[in-house]
Amino acid sequence: MFTEIVLLLHVLLASFWVGGMLFLSIVLAPFIRKLPIKDEAFQEVGRRFSFYGTFITLLLLFLTGIGNVFLLHGGNFSKSVWEKLGLFAVIVVVSLVHDLWAGKKAVGSKRMRAVARLLGVFNLLLGVLAFYMGVKIRMGF
């Protein structure tokens, strides 16, 4: 039961993080760009998603992921698990640079807005790759 809950939490957190980024970029951002208060709106939405997505969710994904390794794979850190941990480290760095540097400096700067957008899309692709690697580990690779 505990094992199932840890895996369920891991998949829910992954869905929230990747799904949240997809929702932000496809649904919310095009709308916010049309608002007269777009800078404030982007900062507010970014701050909230940074708190729940980057700080809380990534931390919990790491903990439940390590939980999965012990509960489902007997503590065996296979090549795929190490690759996923490496990808996770890159995700953490890109997320922090995006949230704490590019996102904050994007107010009033066209160049930094483009950098923040690029980093955001890159992180989304990394998130999809992490999802795929989770499926690969689950299938025994």
Residues of the shown chain interacting with ligand HEM in the complex, contacts defined by CB under 6 A: 7, 10-11, 14, 18, 61-62, 65-66, 68-69, 72-73, 81, 84-85, 88, 91, 127, 130-131, 134-135, 137-138
How far is C-alpha 51 from the chain's CA centre? Answer: 11
Contact criterion met (CB below 8 Å) for 126 and 10: no
Q: Which helix (H) or strand (E) holds 130?
A: helix 110-138
Tell me how far, at minimum, the Cβ of 23 lies from ligand HEM, in Å.
15
Quick one: 29 or 66, whose CB is closer to ligand HEM? 66
The tokens describing 34, both together, are 């049309």
Tell me how far, at minimum, the Cβ of 98 lies from ligand HEM, in Å.
14
Tell me how far, at minimum, the Cβ of 36 lies from ligand HEM, in Å.
35
- Secondary-structure percent of the chain, ordered helix, strand, coil, rounded to 5: 85, 0, 15
Quick one: 15 or 109, whose CB is closer to ligand HEM? 15
